Chain A
Amino acid sequence: MLNKIETKELNLYYGEKHALKDVSLNIAEKSITAFIGPSGCGKSTFLKVLNRMQDYVDGVKIDGQVLLDDEDIFGQGVDTTLLRKKVGMVFQQPNPFPMSIYDNVAYGPRIHGIKNKKQLDEIVEKSLKAAALYEEVSDRLHTSALGLSGGQQQRLCIARCLAVEPEVILLDEPTSALDPISTLKIEELLMELKDKYTIAIVTHNMQQASRIADYTAFFLVGEMVEYGKTDKIFTFPEDKRTEDYITGRFG
């Protein structure tokens, strides 16, 4: 399995707080990698570093390397807009723009210069289909996205992410605000998308990680304690701290 992303001795400080400590981790191409750990362990921070979302946070200092296809994302001349086109992100709360379903999906491609209506129509349809939402919304593409259910809104956010043809999709607890059926739909969707995309997901739901992830990394107080195939992590973790956390005996 090829590595799409590699981090090497990545450290991150929020002012005095050392939030990520020497994290060296590989994210395999075209597979799902889950990050688990208690609140405040650094897993979301780590995810956000991968497309430089931390650039917008004051007082953040980062050292170490993050390589995307062997190229350092903090290297000179890296265009963060292009980086975020390649490495898309979906958040915990569905956050559609207050515009139509169609315009939500077409937003990214338009920013990247696509104006042709026929081409945009095609992208919107393809992205909505890939996000398993098209069937449900095809007759109301020009109505407000805010009228969709939470689960549909989250799939719309995934469609919006897919519309700019990313290579990596980062998801930060994408189902924690959704009901069980919507959650399963998103999980099924991710299982399909991993054939084409590299997926990294932060989740508090251990069953979710064990259901969908190929690889799992366990974080604790800024440290990446253990990383391995999901089967191994959930059946025979090497580190006692991992076993204590996943079996609910932590803390």
Chain B
Amino acid sequence: MRKFFNDELEKLNVDLTKMAHLVEVSLENTIDAFKHQNKQLAKDIIANDRLINDMERAIESRSFNLMLRQQPIAGDLRAVTSALKIVTDLERIGDQASDIAEIILGFDGEQVYRTVEHIPSMAKKAKLMVHESIEAFISQDLQRAKIAKKMDDEIDQLFQEVKQEVMEIIKENHERVDFSIDFLMIAKYLERIGDHASNICEWLEFNQTGKVNNHRLM
């Protein structure tokens, strides 16, 4: 029974998986472009962000349509509403990767990736957290999501370290203030990416339990 509706839910899931992979690739490329000062790659990331935004709209439209025409309830309603929430977080991660790519375009060819010691660790951790959150969501693995969500604390801690480092750099060399602010912004974007990955884990929890952080929403 409900073959049409089941097929539609499956299509929603396939779209969501595609979008998640686009976002993951975008973040990986951003870190790569940053590491190797690859301006062409940075430009591609910014251009490709449009694809992610389009997918967000397509998934939203599909979800609204399902709600309107199929009136999902119980587990079906959680599946559709969590898809609607997750696309927002995925889209934001895409935006932030693109924002970092914009900053990379402004760098002047120096070997900047390791200037602030904790940024590479932060980037690595953010990339891993996004990957784990997405994989947890695709495989509906709540345990994996819980582990992924904990990485957010490490990212927040690394952000504090970056802030300290940047302040030291500014104190030591006033001519590098612009440059330092760029680093701080990159770190802030990475920190926000961690928050969005954390939200993805929460929406997986909601999808399976009706709760977020043990608080019942539905």
**A249 interface residue, CB < 8 Å from B?**
yes
**A237 interface residue, CB < 8 Å from B?**
yes
Distance between Cα atoms of A14 and B1 in the complex (Å): 31
**A39 interface residue, CB < 8 Å from B?**
no
Contact present for B73 and A247 (CB under 8 Å): yes
- Residues on the A chain within 8 Å of B218, using CB: 235-236
Q: Which B189-218 residues sit within 8 Å CB-CB of chain A?
A: 210, 218
Question: In angstroms, how far is the closest chain B Cβ from the Cβ of A160?
Answer: 34
Contact present for A235 and B210 (CB under 8 Å): yes
Q: A216-236 CB contact bits vs B (8 Å, 1 = yes)?
A: 000000000000000000111
Closest Cβ neighbor of B216 among chain A residues: A236
Q: Which of B13-21, B50-58, B74-82 contacts A (4 or more CB under 8 A)?
A: B74-82
Q: A235-B218, A236-B210 are in contact. Are A249 and B74 (CB under 8 A)?
A: no
Q: Which B52-77 residues sit within 8 Å CB-CB of chain A?
A: 71-77
Interface size on B, residues (CB 8 A): 13
Question: In angstroms, how far is the closest chain B Cβ from the Cβ of A35?
Answer: 17
The answer, among A207, A243, A250, A251, for a CB contact under 8 Å with B74, is A243
Closest Cβ neighbor of A243 among chain B residues: B74
- Residues on the B chain within 8 Å of A246, using CB: 73-74
**B2 interface residue, CB < 8 Å from A?**
yes
Question: In angstroms, how far is the closest chain B Cβ from the Cβ of A17?
Answer: 26
Contact present for B74 and A235 (CB under 8 Å): yes
Distance between Cα atoms of A243 and B71 in the complex (Å): 14
**B5 interface residue, CB < 8 Å from A?**
yes
**A248 interface residue, CB < 8 Å from B?**
yes
The answer, among A235, A236, A237, A249, for a CB contact under 8 Å with B1, is A249
Q: Which B72-101 residues sit within 8 Å CB-CB of chain A?
A: 72-78
Contact present for B73 and A251 (CB under 8 Å): no
Question: In angstroms, how far is the closest chain A Cβ from the Cβ of B1?
Answer: 5
Contact present for A234 and B74 (CB under 8 Å): yes
Contact present for B73 and A235 (CB under 8 Å): yes
Q: A235-B218, A236-B210, A236-B218 are in contact. Are A247 and B74 (CB under 8 A)?
A: yes
Q: Which B144-203 residues sit within 8 Å CB-CB of chain A?
A: none
Contact present for A235 and B77 (CB under 8 Å): yes
Distance between Cα atoms of A237 and B73 in the complex (Å): 10
Contact present for B74 and A237 (CB under 8 Å): yes
Contact present for B77 and A250 (CB under 8 Å): no
Contact present for B1 and A251 (CB under 8 Å): yes
Q: Which A32-74 residues sit within 8 Å CB-CB of chain B?
A: none
**A210 interface residue, CB < 8 Å from B?**
yes
Q: A235-B218, A236-B210, A236-B218 are in contact. Are A248 and B1 (CB under 8 A)?
A: yes
- Residues on the A chain within 8 Å of B74, using CB: 234-237, 243, 246-247
**A83 interface residue, CB < 8 Å from B?**
no
Closest Cβ neighbor of A248 among chain B residues: B2
**A25 interface residue, CB < 8 Å from B?**
no
**A141 interface residue, CB < 8 Å from B?**
no
- Residues on the B chain within 8 Å of A207, using CB: 71
9 other A-B residue contacts (CB within 8 Å) besides A236-B218, A237-B74, A247-B2: A207-B71, A235-B77, A235-B210, A235-B218, A243-B75, A248-B1, A248-B2, A248-B5, A249-B1
Interface of A toward B, CB cutoff 8 Å: 206-207, 210, 234-237, 243, 246-251
The 5 closest A-B pairs by CB, nearest first: A235-B218, A236-B210, A248-B2, A234-B73, A247-B76
Chain A to chain B contacts (Cβ below 8 Å), 8 pairs: A207-B71, A236-B218, A243-B74, A246-B73, A247-B2, A247-B74, A247-B76, A248-B1
